[in-house]
Amino acid sequence: MAPAPVLEIFFSLVSIFLQIIVSSSETAQISIAPWNQSVMAGETATFICQINYYIDCPSQDRVYWVHRPIGGKDSDTQSLTGCSQVLSEANVDKYSAFVETSGNDTTYTLVINNVSPADSKEYNCFAFRGVEHESSSRGVLIVTNRAICPTPLNMSVNIIQKEDLVVGGVGEFYCDTNPQSGSSSFRWLKKDSGNQTVSINTTGRFVTSANRLIVSQLLASDNGSQVRCEMTHTTDCELPSPWYHLFLIPGTFDPTEQEPKDFSTVGATSKQVPSKGHDPHTLAGPSETHHPSEKPSETGEPTPAHRPGQTQPSRQSSPVGVIVIGIVATLFLITFTITFTCHMVKSRRSPIDREPAYEGATRTVASSLQMIEKELF
């Protein structure tokens, strides 16, 4: 029988061996938030790198940020920071990085100060655990060179909400400019969970089209979210709207209570008061909503009421009446032909007291038409 110290040493070696196997097979996960952001020149951009394991930086492990042109090659990559150190003294005022650990998780943050269009690049976060584990994540920064339009431009930009917001429903918003500017372009932004400003792409639940934003399948978590639209004026300056908060009313969207929306045409019945002197219905096309004087009938279809200055459409003949008239005319011709033929044959067989064939046929057809009229009407 082996002595106790030998067994303890054996089990200790087995435990160390198992820990090495588990640590070597452990999958590293790393992510960047926000993965895509858009800011204007002169502002500050922040990337946050989340790592699912503890980083002992810089003694055993290391993390660093690199960047390269958007869509560039690996050979174009340049290092910016290592752990909390900025690698180039010339970039000390431009970049800053710091590492924070909480339990088994590590947060590695990169701050880019006073951004310019030259900072529009891909930013990658790399993490090394020991000498074997390496993982990375990529984020994209886009910097616009347009400045904020001056106040004397005498133009305001606001967001109009079309309908109440309910969980499961659709939110529709419009970027309202007063006065209107047909040559303007629009961009939509939102704040993510980290309060970072990101550009809204035309994918997922948030879809943009010119001055329109549609949010499908509203979630309870959307309550309190913030969106903003920016108008690019012909003078190449941007005029942003105030941040607009999404507030969802209690309840859940019931698709049986409302007909499906057709977003191919845009209406703009606002739940907010638009700018004075501006008609939101002219933003992007005719309104899809019913006039207040059109009350739904029992079948659910709107019953049009007379509106001032609008003529009522003339009543047209019913297709059923046209069919009935055609049937009566056909029966008249058939009956007249048969009756006329019968009277002709009868007049030839009995020359005494005979009457003209057409008179008998006419009398017979008249009585037949009276019978048909009684049956139909």
Say if CB 234 and CB 183 are below 8 A apart. Answer: yes
Average pLDDT of the segment spanning 67-81? 85
First to last CA, the chain: 116
**pLDDT value of position 173:** 93
Answer yes or no: is pLDDT of 288 > 60. Answer: no
Average pLDDT of the segment spanning 77-96? 85
| Range of lowest pLDDT (12-26, 231-245, 287-301) | 287-301
Q: How confident is the model at residue 287 (pLDDT cuts 50, 70, 90)?
A: very low
Answer yes or no: is pLDDT of 293 > 80. Answer: no
**pLDDT value of position 52:** 83
Higher pLDDT, 110 or 241: 110
Token pair of 148 as six digits? 């904020």
Q: Tell me if domain 28-144 and domain 147-285 are identical in fold.
A: yes
| Range of lowest pLDDT (55-69, 142-156, 284-298, 306-320) | 284-298
Residue 264 carries which side chain, given as an amino acid letter? S
Q: How confident is the model at residue 371 (pLDDT cuts 50, 70, 90)?
A: low
Token pair of 100 as six digits? 């924070």
Q: How many residues appear in the chain?
A: 377
Answer yes or no: is pLDDT of 27 > 90. Answer: no
Where do the structural domains in the chain lie, given as residue ranges?
A: 28-144, 147-285, 331-376
In CATH terms, the fold of domain 28-144 is: Immunoglobulin-like (2.60.40)
Taken in order 175, 180, 182, 183, the sign of the CA dihedral is negative
Each residue's pLDDT tens digit, 43-56: 888 898 888 887 87
**pLDDT value of position 183:** 59
* Cα 54 to Cα 8, 129, 231, distances in angstroms: 30, 9, 44
Answer yes or no: is pLDDT of 298 > 90. Answer: no
Collect all residues with Cβ–Cβ distance below 8 Å to 112 and sequence separation of at least 6. Answer: 44, 45, 46, 47, 94, 95, 119, 141
Higher pLDDT, 87 or 339: 87
| Range of lowest pLDDT (43-57, 231-245, 281-295) | 281-295
What's the whole-number average pLDDT of the chain?
A: 69
**pLDDT value of position 172:** 92
Q: Which CATH number fits domain 147-285: 3.40.50.720, 2.60.40.10, 3.40.50.300, 2.60.40.4070?
A: 2.60.40.10
Q: How confident is the model at residue 249 (pLDDT cuts 50, 70, 90)?
A: confident
- Nearest residue to 338 (alpha-carbon basis) of 330, 349, 326, 327: 330
Each residue's pLDDT tens digit, 337-370: 777 676 666 665 554 455 555 565 566 656 666 6
Each residue's pLDDT tens digit, 96-138: 888 888 888 888 899 998 888 888 889 988 888 766 566 778 7
Q: How confident is the model at residue 316 (pLDDT cuts 50, 70, 90)?
A: very low
| Range of lowest pLDDT (80-84, 229-233, 305-309, 357-361) | 305-309
Higher pLDDT, 161 or 151: 161
Answer yes or no: is pLDDT of 145 > 50. Answer: yes
**pLDDT value of position 291:** 35
CA dist., res. 96 & res. 115, Å (int): 13
Higher pLDDT, 34 or 136: 136
